[in-house]
Amino acid sequence: MATGNNAIGTLVPVPGIRMSAVSAGVRYQNRLDLVLFELAEGTRTAGVFTRNAFCAAPVVLARKHLQASAGAVRYLLVNTGNANAGTGDQGMIDARHCCQALADAADVELTRVLPFSTGVIGERLPAEKIAAATPSALAALQDDQWLAAAKGIMTTDTRPKAVSAVVTHNGQNISLTGITKGAGMIKPNMATMLAFVATDADIEQDTLQALLMSAVEQSFNRITVDGDTSTNDCCVVSASGKSGIKVDKSDAGLYDAFSRALHELILDLAKLIIRDAEGAKKFVTVDVRGGATTGECLQVAYAIAESPLVKTALSASDPNWGRILAAVGRAGVDNLDVSRIDLYLDDVCIVKKGGLAPDYTEAKGQAVMNQEDICLRIELARGDVNEQVWTADLSEEYVRINASYRS
Amino acid sequence: MATGNNAIGTLVPVPGIRMSAVSAGVRYQNRLDLVLFELAEGTRTAGVFTRNAFCAAPVVLARKHLQASAGAVRYLLVNTGNANAGTGDQGMIDARHCCQALADAADVELTRVLPFSTGVIGERLPAEKIAAATPSALAALQDDQWLAAAKGIMTTDTRPKAVSAVVTHNGQNISLTGITKGAGMIKPNMATMLAFVATDADIEQDTLQALLMSAVEQSFNRITVDGDTSTNDCCVVSASGKSGIKVDKSDAGLYDAFSRALHELILDLAKLIIRDAEGAKKFVTVDVRGGATTGECLQVAYAIAESPLVKTALSASDPNWGRILAAVGRAGVDNLDVSRIDLYLDDVCIVKKGGLAPDYTEAKGQAVMNQEDICLRIELARGDVNEQVWTADLSEEYVRINASYRS
Chain A hits for B399, Cβ within 8 Å: 312, 315, 394-396, 398-399
| A230, A318, A402: residue with CB nearest B406 | A318
Q: What is the DSSP string of B5-61?
A: -----PPPP-TTEEEEEE---SSSSSS--EEEEEE-TT-EEEEEE---TT--HHHHH
The answer to whether domain B283-404 has CATH 3.10.20.340 is yes
| Integer CA distances (angstroms), B63 to A354, B57, B73, B278, B392, in order | 20, 10, 11, 29, 31
A192 is annotated as an active-site residue: yes
Interface subset of A 337-356, CB within 8 angstroms of B: 338, 351, 354-356
Interface subset of A 112-131, CB within 8 angstroms of B: 120-122
Whether A153 shows a pLDDT value over 60: the answer reads: yes
Q: Does B227 touch chain A (CB under 8 A)?
A: yes
Mean pLDDT of A108-119: 95
- Contact of B2 with B275, CB cutoff 8 Å: yes
pLDDT at A121: 83
From CA A111, how far away is CA A114, in angstroms rounded? 7
pLDDT at B398: 85
Percentage of chain A beyond pLDDT 70 is: 97
pLDDT at A255: 93
Mean pLDDT of A2-8: 77
pLDDT at A406: 56
Choose the mutation target among A117, A123, A228 for the interface with B, i.e. most B CBs under 10 Å. A228
Q: Does A185 touch chain B (CB under 8 A)?
A: yes
| B227, B325, B351: residue with CB nearest A308 | B227
Distance of CA A85 to the CA centre of its chain: 19
Distance of CA B266 to the CA centre of its chain: 8
pLDDT band at residue A40 under the 50/70/90 scheme? very high
pLDDT at B406: 56
Q: Among A187-191, A358-362, B334-338, which stretch is predicted with the lowest mean pLDDT?
A: A187-191
Handedness of CA B256, B262, B264, B270 (dihedral sign): negative
First to last CA, chain A: 19
Q: What does pLDDT average to over chain A?
A: 90
Chain B hits for A330, Cβ within 8 Å: 51-53, 187, 189, 228-229
Binding residues of B for substrate are 155, 181, 192, 278, 402, 407
Count of residues making up chain A: 407
Amino acid at position A320, single letter? N
The answer to whether domain B17-275 has CATH 3.60.70.12 is yes
- Asked if the Cβ–Cβ distance from B51 to A330 is below 8 Å, we say yes
- Asked if the Cβ–Cβ distance from B52 to A333 is below 8 Å, we say no
pLDDT band at residue A189 under the 50/70/90 scheme? low
Mean pLDDT of A277-299: 93
Chain A hits for B354, Cβ within 8 Å: 54, 86, 88
Q: Does A79 touch chain B (CB under 8 A)?
A: no
Whether A353 shows a pLDDT value over 70: the answer reads: yes
Interface subset of B 138-157, CB within 8 angstroms of A: none
Rg of chain B taking only CA atoms, in angstroms = 22
Angle between helices B205-217 and B252-275 (to 10 degrees): 40
Q: What is the DSSP string of B363-376?
A: HHHHHHHTSSEEEE
Q: Give Cβ neighbours of residue B144 (< 8 Å, ≥ 6 apart).
A: B11, B13
Mean pLDDT of A333-341: 90
- Contact of A177 with A222, CB cutoff 8 Å: no
Q: What is the DSSP string of A318-354?
A: ---HHHHHHHHHTS--TT--GGG-EEEETTEEEEETT
pLDDT at A405: 56
Chain B hits for A406, Cβ within 8 Å: 318, 320
| Cross-strand pairs, A120 | A82
pLDDT at B17: 94
Handedness of CA A156, A157, A158, A160 (dihedral sign): negative
Number of neighbours of residue B6 by Cβ within 10 angstroms: 10
Whether A190 shows a pLDDT value over 50: the answer reads: no
Distance of CA B238 to the CA centre of its chain: 16
What is the chain A residue with the closest CA to B57?
A: A355
Question: Which parts of chain B have pLDDT scores under 70?
Answer: 1, 188-193, 405-407
**Which is the catalytic residue, given A43, A192, A199, A391?**
A192
Domain coordinates in residue numbering, chain B: 17-275, 283-404
pLDDT at B351: 92
Whether A191 shows a pLDDT value over 50: the answer reads: no
Q: Does A45 touch chain B (CB under 8 A)?
A: no
Whether A184 shows a pLDDT value over 70: the answer reads: yes
Helix (H, G, I), strand (E, B) or coil at B64: helix
Give the tens place of pLDDT for each residue, A263-272: 898 888 888 8
Q: Which residues of B are catalytic?
A: 192
